[in-house]
């Protein structure tokens, strides 16, 4: 099955809305949202979801779809345009391959490219709903002492945010946050909650706002997918390795209304120079502040030789492997085996997925998976790899 691109055609009825709540209208129907399949016009699709490095926040996922517009099928100024009615910002967009969703979002822009040769393209520029959260300002509301997951839920439930209950998956948090006044940009506030938890906040490939506590985000080896260049796992066509200081932190200050936690790694500062990081949080005790500061300078005290990304052509790896790759999500754990130039013994490392990019052309579908190192992580009891005492795993 080829890659399928769908754009919402008819919007759903909204009770009591002056426009979308009018009975018998043909735009906002009681039957809900319907989608038009525009796959026959697709020339290329590019999807990028995740973040580039472990210390970053997750960005809004992006999608660009280039459509053949030589017959003006997507031209809103052409009365006979087959899909002219779709050319409206904020329409929903879905991209799937072999029945597996790889992107869910909304249209930000329709762009039209005309070439003197006669080639015409309509380009959909879309993002996931992090973009919507980034545009929402919370109205002042007082939050009680609660865990980080409950705080995420409280923000999403605010009338000024009103995030749908069926489009969220929220873990119970491990960090306890102090009483606070929720105000300002909704996404910025949620990112502060994420930092307080040291968990993960992102939009899934099927459009679900996902918050993972540091426990739920901690890797396990129960369902690890192996990628290998020696025939023992899913083959890949490219690998990027990083060995530098982009993840080096040896001096950390963590703050909240409860106070300040400071931690330094003297050995690392002597060896590599001072690299400092400041983190604003909402935690309600100095003990949590100290633990967070200690964790940061323990995890990022040394440069790491690590796999940064692997890439593969889905059309060449076999049907079962293709289904496995398409089904992967941010937070999943993979094992990478790589022998540079087939010389010496393999380099074997675990990684946690932090980025998934899809590139689709008429003749191929490429996927690039970005990973974070798992050489230092939270301790997972009873796990055969991440539950060993005396390893780099940290109880927190």
pLDDT along the chain (396 residues), means of 10: 86 52 55 84 97 89 97 94 92 96 97 88 97 91 95 95 95 95 95 94 97 79 86 94 88 96 94 94 96 90 89 95 96 92 92 95 94 70 52 47
Q: Are residues 286 and 369 in the same domain?
A: no
Considering the domain boundaries, does residue 350 fall inside one? yes
Closest to 349 measured CA to CA, from 249, 262, 233: 233
Number of domains into which the chain is organized: 4
Q: Are residues 120 and 182 in the same domain?
A: no
Give the three-class secondary structure for 229.
Answer: coil
Q: Are residues 349 and 229 in the same domain?
A: yes
Considering the domain boundaries, does residue 387 fall inside one? no
Residue 145 has which token pair?
Answer: 């002492």
Q: Are residues 29 and 107 in the same domain?
A: yes
pTM attached to this predicted model: 0.87
CATH code for the domain of 67? 2.40.10
| DSSP assignment of 134-153 | HT-EEEEEEE-SEEHHHHHH
Domain final residue, candidates 63, 95, 128 = 128
Considering the domain boundaries, does residue 396 fall inside one? no
What is the predicted pLDDT for the residue at 244? Answer: 83
CA atoms within 13 A on the CB side of 74: 29
Q: Which residues are CB-contacts of 260 (< 8 A; sequence separation ≥ 6)?
A: 253, 254, 289
Considering the domain boundaries, does residue 37 fall inside one? yes
Considering the domain boundaries, does residue 383 fall inside one? no
Considering the domain boundaries, does residue 278 fall inside one? yes
Q: Are residues 18 and 57 in the same domain?
A: yes
* Structural domain harbouring 153: 133-212
Q: Are residues 280 and 311 in the same domain?
A: no
d(CA 101, CA 103): 6
Residue 103 has which token pair?
Answer: 């992107």
Considering the domain boundaries, does residue 381 fall inside one? no
CATH code for the domain of 342? 2.40.30
Considering the domain boundaries, does residue 391 fall inside one? no
Q: Are residues 145 and 118 in the same domain?
A: no
């Amino acid at each position: 099955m080829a890659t399928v691109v769908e754009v919402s055609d008819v919007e759903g009825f909204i009770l009591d809305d002056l426009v979308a709540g009018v009975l018998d209208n043909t735009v906002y129907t009681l039957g809900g949202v319907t989608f038009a399949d525009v796959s026959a016009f697709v020339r290329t699709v590019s999807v990028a979801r995740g973040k580039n490095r472990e210390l970053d926040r997750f960005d809004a996922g992006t999608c660009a779809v280039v459509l053949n517009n030589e017959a003006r099928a997507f031209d809103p100024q052409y009365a006979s345009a087959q899909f002219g009615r779709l050319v409206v910002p904020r329409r929903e967009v879905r991209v799937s391959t072999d029945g597996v969703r790889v992107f869910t979002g909304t249209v930000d822009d329709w762009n039209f490219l005309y070439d003197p040769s006669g080639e015409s393209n309509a380009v959909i520029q879309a993002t996931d709903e992090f973009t919507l959260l980034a545009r929402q300002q919370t109205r002042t509301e007082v939050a009680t002492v609660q865990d980080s997951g409950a705080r995420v839920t409280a923000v999403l439930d605010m009338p000024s945010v009103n995030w749908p209950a069926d489009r969220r998956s929220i873990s119970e948090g491990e960090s306890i946050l102090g009483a606070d006044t929720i105000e300002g940009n909704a996404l910025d506030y949620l990112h502060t909650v994420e930092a307080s938890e040291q968990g993960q906040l992102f939009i899934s490939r099927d459009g679900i706002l996902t918050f993972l506590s540091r426990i739920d985000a901690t890797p396990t080896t129960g369902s690890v997918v192996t990628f290998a260049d020696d025939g023992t796992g899913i083959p890949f066509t490219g690998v990027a390795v990083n060995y530098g200081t982009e993840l080096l932190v040896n001096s950390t200050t963590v703050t909240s209304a409860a106070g300040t936690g400071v931690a330094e790694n003297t050995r690392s500062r002597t060896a590599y120079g001072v690299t400092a990081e400041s983190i604003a949080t909402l935690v309600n005790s100095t003990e949590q502040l100290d633990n967070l500061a200690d964790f940061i300078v323990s995890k990022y005290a040394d440069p790491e030789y690590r796999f940064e990304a692997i890439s593969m052509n889905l059309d060449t790896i076999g049907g079962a492997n293709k289904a496995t790759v398409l089904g992967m999500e941010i937070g999943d754990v993979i094992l990478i085996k790589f022998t540079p130039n087939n010389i010496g013994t393999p380099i074997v490392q675990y990684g946690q997925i932090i980025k998934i990019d899809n590139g689709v052309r008429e003749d191929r579908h490429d996927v690039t998976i970005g990973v974070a190192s798992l050489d230092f992580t939270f301790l997972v009891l009873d796990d055969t790899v991440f539950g060993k005492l005396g390893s780099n795993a940290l109880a927190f």
